[in-house]
Structure 1
């Protein structure tokens, strides 16, 4: 249990904790200029540690911290952020020790002492705080570090913090060392031995923050620019998935709208290449912009943004995922993505029971979730009993009509290893048609189909299949929507979960036919062994076309 305490209302903090926080395991301290996002607090995964969490400043993500990809915080990691705030959830016993044993006047002081003195502080990547002002340490707190057993890099950072807070430096330059990941301002401070006026360093820091603000997708929508048309941006500008099916419905059933689809996959009056010279202007002036994934950095729509997303997730997303590679290697990764996500007006999900996952993974406080189903699954539901559609696809695929069909769709991995791929034995091949459908990113296909399946939508392949074999792909839920048998082949399950991260509470509801060894999988298929799967995350009452069209009509100028 987490208890939130308004810091300025509690003059005797220790007594208040002892009297009113008996059931709490963790405590958040806040003041009148700090918002605590209750929904984010609910999604933190805490244990017997204090935790550094993420935050925004005045509603926007302005940090450039890369430590969110790590398990534990270090003093160096915390200090090497362009903004510093008291972004900590205290383990109750840690907080009680701190307020009894260190010098402090405010929340920032207690946080700073926690970083210096606690043995281990973990990291949870959820955005819990929004700070409406810049917190600063007290002179009393900083001076208390003098004479303590503190490493030389931490001493440098304490001096830096003092100067930026209009406080005299605490340590002599002989006691300090430049951090290994020093910023420009750090090098200037050490070179000048902290002798310049405090205002000079503060101006340097201000310029660094201004530069940061220009590179992290902060903007306000300008409704005066809008024109009465709709623009679709498919996944990686591809003409497929939810975007394709909704686009075709709109252009066929609601021709009164001017609609454009940004893609290289198709040509015609409705299609615009992403390389077109005016593409940014076209998108940014659209009354409605419809997405299926993350919005590219260089595009800043002013109209209503409807996010279709690309499937019910099994793999952890954004704020739920450590994403160490992205956080470490991609400049301002979290800031650029977060500040675009908060501009979305509507987020479409396939079923309401999965909403809590998206609410945990993405900042949804400015976005309305609409659980009307996915357009690609409305297609499946409408055509699952259409024998003409099914027979036509089978004929085009050159499938043997006397055999059932297996669709094999492994998830793309970036480790270039093929050990996890299935090699079907002859006894399976003799009984079933096999369709291999790899992810668009996967260029290392071991198996080729007799027919080029790139001309077919994944939904068409599901429609003609009797069995779908996958691992961690959202295609599982699409197949279950029309009662296809779904088997999971996951020989790398533990390793994949450790490095990529899975929503286990979701996965455990659909893993009734999960196999780690291919021999057991093949035996189950040959013996027709199949367990029915829980339908909690399945929606067979899909009205996505109509519901999303209504959102569009409401948004058109």
Structure 2
């Protein structure tokens, strides 16, 4: 059995990592695992994990000889899927913002190679019932879709979560009394496609943040993987760039609250039950011009929509009252988007692989273990 993995432009991360680690723990010596990486990411893989460079003949051979391919993004390099290979596409998030063919404004031909990859998919995962049809429609995928929850989020419900929180906070130099604010802004299409891959400006007033919160708060900045650049901060600012931390779920555990805008991280972080604040200083432009949404964020958000840095800092300072005010909305948000995030998604996905390969049917699996099958 040969399995080839690909995640986020060559990272050892996300749903493929969770599935790989579960399979590796079974100790099947007959299975050969190979990850696609890049020169910049190869050193981040554990030494016992086999890697080949993305885009090379070796990578193409790994894909074309695989019995199983597991990816969380489109594999846009050329390769031919041989008969008998099963391709599991996990994708990497519940979308608020429109994606793939539902999004407008990308450069001409930017989806050509991605569409070739979509045609290879045998099974697409969906993290929740609200997302299933959106993913299928956006990608033009007419094959099976399985509602399973995301394997990467199992850690958030694991008995290990408290120990992981303590370990990650120690690695980041955070003592128990420090409030960690995880900031996860998404990328902006115009900056990536016309601006050379710049990160969006850090619209938070760091001087004001430092003056009011800096003694006992720290901002953990997690930039989107689409953004190539890194932001610079004034000396002494209470900011830690955690963009290169491989497992974002570990950061969810380490953090005490999240600040985001339109990122899919909001849906995963909600599994923790910790407060979420929305810093949406460019809401109208992003929604109406850059990307567009699948639903009204203002009607669904489990926390306040904040337009200015001052409003954000006030909300962080008074987060307990803010969380209490939005408790009902938060509960409804979790019911809609986190109903499958119970810590068992990995096993549900692994159990699906031979069934899906044999049947070619959609399988919807709920936490109670009932399977509902339907052709798509």
TM-score by length of 2: 0.78
In 2, Cα distance between the equivalents of 1:513 and 1:452? 24
* Partner residue in 1 for 2:364: none
1:485-496 matches, within 5 Å, as 485-496=275-286
1:251-400 matches, within 5 Å, as 251-256=24-29, 257-264=31-38, 265=42, 266=45, 267-274=47-54, 276-302=56-82, 303-322=85-104, 324-326=105-107, 329-330=108-109, 333-365=110-142, 367-383=143-159, 386-400=161-175
Corresponding pairs, count: 322
1:62-461 matches, within 5 Å, as 228-256=1-29, 257-264=31-38, 265=42, 266=45, 267-274=47-54, 276-302=56-82, 303-322=85-104, 324-326=105-107, 329-330=108-109, 333-365=110-142, 367-383=143-159, 386-413=161-188, 414=191, 415=195, 416=198, 418-419=200-201, 421-424=203-206, 425=209, 426-440=211-225, 441-447=227-233, 449=239, 454-461=244-251
RMSD, aligned CA: 2.4
CA shift, 1:520, in A, is 1.4
Which SS does the other structure have where 2:287 is aligned? helix
CA spacing shift, 1:325–1:335, aligned 2, 3 Å: closer
Which SS does the other structure have where 1:289 is aligned? strand
Deviations 1:94-152 (A, max 9, x none): xxxxxxxxxxxxxxxxxxxxxxxxxxxxxxxxxxxxxxxxxxxxxxxxxxxxxxxxxxx
* Partner residue in 2 for 1:500: 290
CA shift, 1:420, in A, is 5.3
CA spacing shift, 1:436–1:340, aligned 2, 3 Å: closer
CA shift, 1:255, in A, is 2.6
* Partner residue in 2 for 1:509: 300
Give structure 1 stretches of 5+ with no counterpart: 1-227
In 2, Cα distance between the equivalents of 1:450 and 1:444? 12
In 2, Cα distance between the equivalents of 1:244 and 1:442? 22
Give the number of the structure with larger relative contact order, counting CA–CA contacts within 8 Å between residues 6 or more apart: 2
CA shift, 1:538, in A, is 1.5
Which SS does the other structure have where 1:286 is aligned? coil
CA spacing shift, 1:270–1:405, aligned 2, 3 Å: same
User: Among 463, 467, 470, which residue is 2:260 paired with?
Assistant: 470
In 2, Cα distance between the equivalents of 1:368 and 1:254? 29
In 2, Cα distance between the equivalents of 1:275 and 1:360? 28
User: Among 525, 533, 537, which residue is 2:337 paired with?
Assistant: 537
CA shift, 1:272, in A, is 2.3
CA shift, 1:297, in A, is 3.8
CA spacing shift, 1:397–1:354, aligned 2, 3 Å: same
CA shift, 1:544, in A, is 2.1
In 2, Cα distance between the equivalents of 1:452 and 1:524? 22
- Does structure 2 retain, via aligned residues, the 8 Å contact 1:398–1:451? no
Deviations 1:28-74 (A, max 9, x none): xxxxxxxxxxxxxxxxxxxxxxxxxxxxxxxxxxxxxxxxxxxxxxx
CA shift, 1:481, in A, is 0.9
- Does structure 2 retain, via aligned residues, the 8 Å contact 1:372–1:542? no
Give structure 2 stretches of 5+ with no counterpart: 359-376
Which SS does the other structure have where 1:406 is aligned? strand
CA shift, 1:455, in A, is 4.3
Which SS does the other structure have where 1:235 is aligned? coil
- Does structure 2 retain, via aligned residues, the 8 Å contact 1:412–1:442? no
CA shift, 1:495, in A, is 0.8
In 2, Cα distance between the equivalents of 1:386 and 1:544? 16
In 2, Cα distance between the equivalents of 1:376 and 1:349? 13
CA spacing shift, 1:381–1:502, aligned 2, 3 Å: farther
CA shift, 1:450, in A, is 5.3
Moved more, 449-458 or 339-348: 449-458
CA shift, 1:476, in A, is 0.7
